[in-house]
Amino acid sequence: MDELTIVAAQLERMRGMTRYYHEQFFSDTRNVVIGVLALFVAGWAIAPQAFLLIPVLALIGANQTAFDASYLYFARHYASALERSINEKLGARWLVGAELEDRYLFPLSEPKIVTIRVGSEFSWFGWMTVLFTLAGAVAFVAGLALGWSVLENAGTEWTIFYLASLGSLTIASLATGYWWFAAGEGERRLREVLEGLGHPNEPGGNE
């Protein structure tokens, strides 16, 4: 099998992964939205304790969709490097999918909040992420507010346990998300390996 065929096969695999995690992102978002709405209905119609599950589900949903986005980063970075490699071998700029995604969806290797790039490169994809994030934050706060009376009646120990657990997980999620996405640690690791693409036994261009 020649070198170009191998690289093209890897590109096809990454394009498949990109499509899958785009679909997974919106599937997970839909499931969380349905779950949150169901808990609101259950809190009003059946048991107010259901309200206290809303912040938990919103937090899990935020982490899950960010996980989906992390695989979008993985697949897009690899696909971009493969496209550049193929174009170099062909001696012409035939493959521009990665460049189109950078301009139309959200740019790689630029400071951003998950898929949100502020400024002139802000996109509809970024707006959808903003919308889902704000909706999740509103649901988180509303669920906590509506379930507050349940916490008051549950006793001090249960209230402390619930709030401490929820607060700790929320802070840990935000801190880890900032480190991995906004501070660029995840993309830095990808670039470190992909810089050596096409150089045998030299990941990142180093032994």
Which residue is listed with tokens 């679909």? 23
Query: In which residue ranges of the chain is pLDDT below 70?
Result: 1, 198-207
* Model confidence, pTM: 0.85
Q: Provide the domain limits for residue 195.
A: 3-205
Quote the number of domains for the chain: 1
In tens, the pLDDT along 112-146 reads: 888 888 888 899 989 999 999 999 999 999 999 99
Mean pLDDT score of the chain: 90
What does the longest C-alpha to C-alpha distance in the chain come to? 72
Residue 26 structure tokens: 């919106």
DSSP code, position 122: -
